[in-house]
Structure 1
Amino acid sequence: MKHLIACVLVLWIGACKHKKLPILGEPEIVTKMVDGKKTEVTEYPRIPDYSFINQKNQTFTQKQMEGKIYVADFFFTACPTICPVMKSNMLTVVERYKDNPKVGILSHTIDPEHDTPAVLKKYADDLGLKGDMWQFVTGDREKIYDIGQKHYMVSAMADPNEPGGFIHSGAFVLVDKDRYARGIYDGTSKESTAKLIEDMGVLLEESNTEE
């Protein structure tokens, strides 16, 4: 009996070590030349190139996230509803991974007219943030909405009927170093944020294995 339990534990630990997160989005079958032959391969959507302005009034692009896994979300500084809870939960992510240079956080404002770099800088300062791990970005409204809805698969738009004049999901989106979305979590939930933190560890292990 003891031998059986030991075997089960070994198998369970082995399975945990090899856990793999799914790639999100609708896959597409494309034809490519592989070793001189036409071959059908499955391709998943990736987060496209982007260019925004961060809280330091500097251009921030996908190049700053090269080699990193990161968590993306959408918010606005005057949000009267879910944003404060989301930011409180994101701070637990910061606390867990603040010393890991392979982790980033990218928060997009959906109210770029109000949320200038200076406003975002004060917002970041009020959260007590240090360093460059957590980036807050603004930019062209339509480009922000487009990347949110089409690529991060979240709600991000103006809506005069919503509190604060905008609608957005409370989602945290986990993105791998190759810019594939690998998980979506409820940023208003401590339990879901804890699952995000756990899955980030899985993704980091995956990245280390590939290097």
Structure 2
Amino acid sequence: MKYNIKSCIPIFFVFIISACNNETKKLPILGQREPIEKIVNGKTVVDTIYQTIPNFSFMNQDSIIINNDSLSKSIYVADFFFTSCPSICPIMSKNMLSIYNKFKGNEEVKFLSHTIDPKHDTIPVLKKYATKLGVSSKQWHFLLGDKDTVYQLAKTGYMSFTAEDNKAPGGITHSGYFLLIDKEKRIRGAYDGTDETQVKQLMEDMDVLLNEYKTKN
């Protein structure tokens, strides 16, 4: 069988363009932003300060302190849950597990699940929950912290809704979003953790974000 070289050239360029697009694609930076003026080479330029995740310090299921410094070299996915949640949390945990399994072993990727029911979700409870899910690596941290601190972090840091509600299943209402955070602690994406299509998009966007750092080096 003979191939027409000229007819293959357009297809070849399509692949080249597609590859370039994947390499140069960047995710947006979400949250509040503030323009500031600064002097660069004697000229006044406008720069942008983006919202970042505030400093925090919580204990994980292995009684290890996790804070901003622990994540300085990693992107991560964060969510808010509680182990006795009878509604969306089991679905979220199942979908987060799929993401965890894809990136398991990648030291540049971490997962943070903040309990919003610290009275019940003690360290042993969180450890049991993690073990039941099959989480054995140091990538996925189930975090315990003071309730007021966690609720405030959810609201102001992650733009996530959490509140006590006697009418809600389990007595707590909260958003089911997964938040993608970059190494600079900026929010790069928000995804419905109960929606498989959005979870798939999150995994694709994580690859994009990792490639963003790869091309910088």
Q: What is the TM-score with the length of structure 2 in the denominator? A: 0.91
Q: Could you tell me which residue of structure 2 aligns to residue 51 of structure 1?
A: 57
Counterpart AA for 1:134: W
CA RMSD of aligned residues (A): 1.6
Match in the other structure for 1:208:
214
* 2:133 matches 1:127: yes
Q: Does 1:15 align with 2:17?
A: no
* 1:11-31, Cα deviation, whole Å (9 max, x unpaired): 233112211000001211123
Please tell me whether residue 117 in structure 1 is matched to residue 123 in structure 2.
yes
Question: Counterpart in 1 of 2:187?
Answer: 181
Residues 85 and 34 of structure 1, relative CA distance in 2, 3 Å threshold: same
Deviations 1:52-86, CA, capped at 9 Å, x for gaps? 11112222111111110100000000000000011
Q: Is the 8 A contact 1:45 1:180 kept in 2?
A: yes
Gaps (5+ residues) in structure 2? 1-5
Number of residue equivalences: 211
Q: Which consecutive unaligned segments of at least 5 residues does structure 1 have?
A: none
Percentage identity across paired residues of the two chains: 45
Could you tell me which amino acid in structure 2 is paired with residue 111 of structure 1? D
Q: Which 4+ stretches in 1 moved above 4 angstroms?
A: 35-38
Q: In structure 2, do the counterparts of structure 1 residues 209 and 166 end up closer, same or farther at CA, with 3 Å as the change threshold?
A: same
Structure 2 contact 22–208 (Cα < 8 Å) conserved: no
**SS of aligned partner of 2:159:** coil
Q: State which drifts further: 158-167 or 102-111.
A: 158-167
Of 156, 168, 172 in structure 2, the residue corresponding to residue 166 of structure 1 is: 172
Residue 33 of structure 1, CA deviation: 4.4
Of 72, 75, 95, the residue aligned with 1:66 is 72
For 1:102, the equivalent position in structure 2 comes to 108
SS at match of 2:55: coil
Deviations 1:112-157 (A, max 9, x none): 1111111111111111111111000011111111111111111122
| Maintained 8 Å contact 1:27/1:44 | yes
Q: Which has the larger radius of gyration?
A: 2
- Structure 1 residues 164-193: Cα deviation after superposition (integer angstroms, max 9, x where no partner): 111111101000111111001111111111
**Contact 1:177-1:207 within 8 A present in 2 as well:** no
SS in 1 for 2:129: helix
Q: How does 1:141-156 map to 2 (within 5 A)?
A: 141-156=147-162
- Quick one: distance in 2 between partners of 1:89 and 1:155? 20
Cα contact 2:81–2:116 (8 A) shared by 1:
yes
User: Contact (CA 8 Å) 1:105, 1:134: kept in 2 or not?
Assistant: yes
